[in-house]
Amino acid sequence: MPLPPPTGSARAADTAASPVPTGRRILAPDLARGIMLLVIALAHTHLFTVLIGGGETVPTVADRIATAGTVMFVDFRGYPMFAALFGYGLAQIHRRRTEQGREWPWVRALLRRRARWLIVFGAVHATLLFFGDILAVYGLVALVFAGALRFRDRTLTILAVAWLPLAAALQALIAADQAVTGQSGLPPVPDGFLNELLTRLLTYSFIVPVMFVNTVVPFLVGILAARHRVLEEPHRHLRLLRATAFVGIPLGALGGLPLALVKAGLWDGHTTLDALAAGGLHQVSGYACGFGYAALIALFSARLSERQGPVTGALAALGQRSLTFYLAQSVAWTVLFASYALHLQVTSPAVAVGIAVAVWLATVVLADLMHRRNARGPAEAALRGLTYGPFR
């Protein structure tokens, strides 16, 4: 049941449209986004070893460890955290604007405009660079579930719990199909600019609905967490954060273990029923792991808030520009892996891990340099300008 919107006089339009000053930003979300960009890089480079490198080959012990570690700690582990942070950020926008006296129709129109531009960004991103885009999915979720920002806590919880079996069942079916066919579920990437473009669009049309279903639960949890200021005031939620971190992360690792054994070639006797169970368990435990990552980073940020060092500052700077460097990663993948660029044929998951870490470290350095020069991320600036244009 929706809550009634607050009333009051609206502030000046320039206040509504201006970004939050760096000194007033909350450390935990920025730090989480910066660290999770490493998880995204690891997931993407592993994906390229499957689609371009010739399949999920694990010829060495290092490759088996890299594959199993990716399944247990990366695949569907970092993404729920990013989706929760997206819901958290949307709830923060809603709270700030309503505290300024804006009525719900105004705020809803603002959020929907932002969502539509995210869809545009995502469509261009997927067409030109990378089929695994998440921006358009976020935009679609925001369009469909904008009204959830005014749901009561109980309604949000019920909706998230009710949606969870749907996400688990979908992932279980995908895992079972891969077990039966022996394929990754995605078409191999052919050579040539036009062939790659068409393959990206075909793959993207499959990924969007799947990721939409996977995004709803963490999105709703993010709204709920923002409502109680879990990341802004971590000292008030230490018991919750500790329980989430020290239960969620081990639970995610254990839940991903069956599928990790399959992917690493250490469990050959799995049946379709085994794959169904492993896929569903992998999905559900991934939510727990992603929330655990967020909680653990919030605990660290609570201790570091008064004494940030250069490493923390650089990671936070990356998180403040996460949209820009999420897209920059895709530029790097295009340069490295596209058939019309360097066209690296990476067949080793262990080598892919090294590439992911190297690209991520480069973005950390660049983000820190931008922070020292007080330069905002161009993608963030463009999205804000397009969103707030008629609302100034």
Residue 348 inside a domain? The answer is: no
Res. 7: pLDDT tops 50: no
According to the model, what pLDDT value does residue 6 have? 41
> Percentage of the chain with pLDDT > 90?
55
What would the mean pLDDT of 33-37 be, rounded to a whole number?
93
Whole-angstrom CA distances from 28 to 140, 267, 315, 388 are: 26, 39, 11, 25
At 179 the pLDDT is 62
DSSP letter assigned to residue 231 = T
- Specify if 209 maps to a domain: yes
Specify the pLDDT at position 268. 67
Q: Tell whether 43 is covered by a domain.
A: no
pLDDT at res. 60: 84
CA distances from 213 to 5, 217, 378 (A): 28, 8, 30
Domain tally, the chain: 1
Q: Is the pLDDT of residue 307 over 50?
A: yes
Q: What is the pLDDT of residue 270?
A: 58
Q: What mean pLDDT comes out for the span 128-133?
A: 91
CA–CA separation, 241 vs 149, rounded Å?
22
53: in domain: no
Condensed to tens digits (0 to 9), the pLDDT of residues 197-242 reads: 898 888 888 889 999 999 999 999 999 999 999 988 888 999 999 9
% residues pLDDT > 70 (the chain): 85
Name the one residue in this structure whose structure tokens are 């530029």: 331
Lowest mean pLDDT among 61-75, 98-112, 145-159, 253-267: 253-267
pLDDT, averaged across the chain: 85
Domain that holds residue 191: 24-34+59-311
Each residue of 168-197: pLDDT tens digit?
A: 888 777 776 666 665 555 666 777 888 888
User: Does residue 354 sit within a domain?
Assistant: no
User: Which pLDDT does position 271 carry in this prediction?
Assistant: 64
pLDDT for position 44? 93
Residue 78 lies in a domain: yes
CA angle 279, 71, 156 (to 5 degrees): 60
Q: Is the model's pLDDT at 15 over the cut of 50?
A: no
Span of 61-75, 262-276, 299-313 with lowest mean pLDDT: 262-276
pLDDT (average), residues 351-355: 94
d(CA 357, CA 303) in angstroms, rounded, equals 26
pTM attached to this predicted model = 0.87
Name the nearest CA neighbour of 255 among 348, 166, 172, 159: 172
Work out the pLDDT band at 263, boundaries 50, 70, 90.
confident
205 sits in which H/E element = helix 193-227
Is residue 390 domain-resident? no
Residue 342 lies in a domain: no
Q: Considering only CA atoms, which of 364, 355, 348 is closest in space to residue 41?
A: 355
